[in-house]
Amino acid sequence: MQPDSSRISNGSAPPARRRGRLAPEAYIEGVLQGDRVTLARAITIIESDLESDGELAAEILQGILAEAGDSLRVGITGVPGAGKSTFIDVLGMHIVRDRGEKVAVLSVDPSSPVSGGSILGDKTRMERLSVEERAFIRPSPARGHLGGVARRTRETILLCEAAGYRNILVETVGVGQSETAVRSMTDFFLLLMLAGAGDELQGIKRGILEMLDAMAINKADGDNRLEADRARVQYAGALHLFPPSPDGWTPRVVTCSALANEGIREIWEMVLQHHEKMRASGWFLRRRRQQALAWMRELVLAGLEEEFFRNPAVRDRMPALEEAVRTAQATSFTAARELLALFRNRPRLRQSDAAPARSSSRPPGPDRGFQIKE
């Protein structure tokens, strides 16, 4: 039976499914009821590369969409060792225990899928939080597209929201592209820093400083207190030099100690204050809408890229053209044009091959020399 790709939800004919998969309604209901096992299984489908799971994933997402979105999404980044897991453990416990709310922690791990190594490690990093009933912790493997940053984290966020998690913490390691991706899926962006370590060591680029809503200098305890305070003043001065953010929020620089549980509660107060302010000014919704649109475009581009590299004509021709470019027999420009033409099913022909019988009143244009094959 052929899956009907036009079917979004609750149609009559169920699409062909992989063995072991449930009906979409089962996932939708389970997620909406906040069932953690179903939530985890639904995320697995969202993350799956299987063609048959893609359809199921779309149905699940469509089914939970109305219940998603009502949350606070916070991105937390910092180099390995900055104290992210300790911080999130403590912050999560505050949210769960003191505030009585649910929290989902999604880790975006940009480490190489080839080496199998993981910078962020597994969930045992958050020892106390991981055994809490109201906490859901999920590392997202980074694979393939979009700079290797977990490509399904946005959809995972939606699933968690639909399952009743109103606080979403998205954690990533500060190693380049992952921060930009996490920034583009969160409402508040926090950088955890260490006093004393140079900017270079902490991978701090100007671009990252510009994205911040707050910076927390962690490990402000013991002998490190003074230095942390010094760093705070220094960074506050540096951040002040940036033009004000269009949303009207001035990034804050604070100190904290995840280990001693100092300053964490205050940081969450700040996040809530930011949230209130953004909601009142309309920036909250505005940013969310911008993010959703940008993500749609990114998904389209990622889909096109995938199709391009899977296209048989492209795959056949690619090695020869790569060699031609490598040996300077062809320019990148012409080679790319030829591949794109192949992809569009318009193989580039030699001028002499062009069918002379093809009558056209069009003036000679850039398409000359191509035969359009329908």
Task: With beta carbons less than 8 A apart as the criterion, state whether 64 and 38 touch.
Answer: no
At its nearest, how many Å lie between ligand GDP and the CB of residue 96?
18
Coil, strand, or helix at residue 189? strand
Task: List alpha helices for 116-250, DSSP H.
Answer: 153-162, 177-183, 206-211, 225-240
Output 31 or 191, the one with its CB closest to ligand GDP.
191
At its nearest, how many Å lie between ligand GDP and the CB of residue 121?
8
**Tokens (6 digits) for 147:** 């700079």
Output 38 or 86, the one with its CB closest to ligand GDP.
86
Output 138 or 219, the one with its CB closest to ligand GDP.
219
Near ligand GDP by CB under 6 A, which window of 153-161, 255-263, 330-338, 339-347?
255-263
CA distance 276 to 287: 14
Near ligand GDP by CB under 6 A, which window of 2-10, 42-50, 81-89, 273-281?
81-89
Q: Is 154 in the site for ligand GDP (CB under 6 A)?
A: no
Output 32 or 175, the one with its CB closest to ligand GDP.
175
Burial class of residue 78, CB neighbours in 10 A (0-12, 13-18, 19+) = buried
Q: Is 232 in the site for ligand GDP (CB under 6 A)?
A: no
Q: Is 258 in the site for ligand GDP (CB under 6 A)?
A: yes
Near ligand GDP by CB under 6 A, which window of 73-81, 278-286, 304-312, 360-368?
73-81
Q: Is 282 in the site for ligand GDP (CB under 6 A)?
A: no
Q: Is 253 in the site for ligand GDP (CB under 6 A)?
A: no
Which of 68, 175, 197, 259 is close enough to bind ligand GDP by CB under 6 A? 259
Output 39 or 216, the one with its CB closest to ligand GDP.
216
Which of 38, 71, 77, 85 is close enough to bind ligand GDP by CB under 6 A? 85
Cα separation values, 334 from 322, 329, 338, 339, 346, Å: 11, 10, 6, 9, 14
Near ligand GDP by CB under 6 A, which window of 94-102, 103-111, 251-259, 346-354?
251-259
Burial 331-367 (b: 16+ CB within 10 A, else e): eeeebeebbebbbeeeebeeeeeeeeeeeeeeeeeee
Q: Is 257 in the site for ligand GDP (CB under 6 A)?
A: yes
Mask for 201-220, x = binds ligand GDP (CB under 6 A): -----------------xx-
Q: Is 251 in the site for ligand GDP (CB under 6 A)?
A: no
Q: Residue 144: which of 299, 319, 293, 290 has the closest Cα? A: 299
Task: With beta carbons less than 8 A apart as the criterion, state whether 17 and 52 touch.
Answer: yes
Q: Is 248 in the site for ligand GDP (CB under 6 A)?
A: no
Output 109 or 132, the one with its CB closest to ligand GDP.
109
Q: What's the Rg (C-alpha) of the chain? A: 25
CA 80 to chain CA centroid, nearest Å:
19
At its nearest, how many Å lie between ligand GDP and the CB of residue 54?
33
CA distance 102 to 98: 11
Which of 11, 81, 248, 303 is close enough to bind ligand GDP by CB under 6 A? 81
Output 30 or 92, the one with its CB closest to ligand GDP.
92
Which residues, 6+ apart, have CB-to-CB distance to 177 below 8 Å? 110, 147, 148, 149
Strands (E), the chain: 72-78, 103-108, 135-140, 167-173, 188-194, 214-218, 252-255
Cα separation values, 202 from 179, 227, 321, 358, Å: 13, 16, 40, 62
CA distance 345 to 339: 10
Q: Is 82 in the site for ligand GDP (CB under 6 A)?
A: yes
- Counting residues that bind ligand GDP (by CB under 6 A) gives 14
At its nearest, how many Å lie between ligand GDP and the CB of residue 67?
31
**Tokens (6 digits) for 331:** 């320019």
Q: Which residues bind ligand GDP (CB under 6 A)?
A: 78, 80-86, 218-219, 221, 257-259
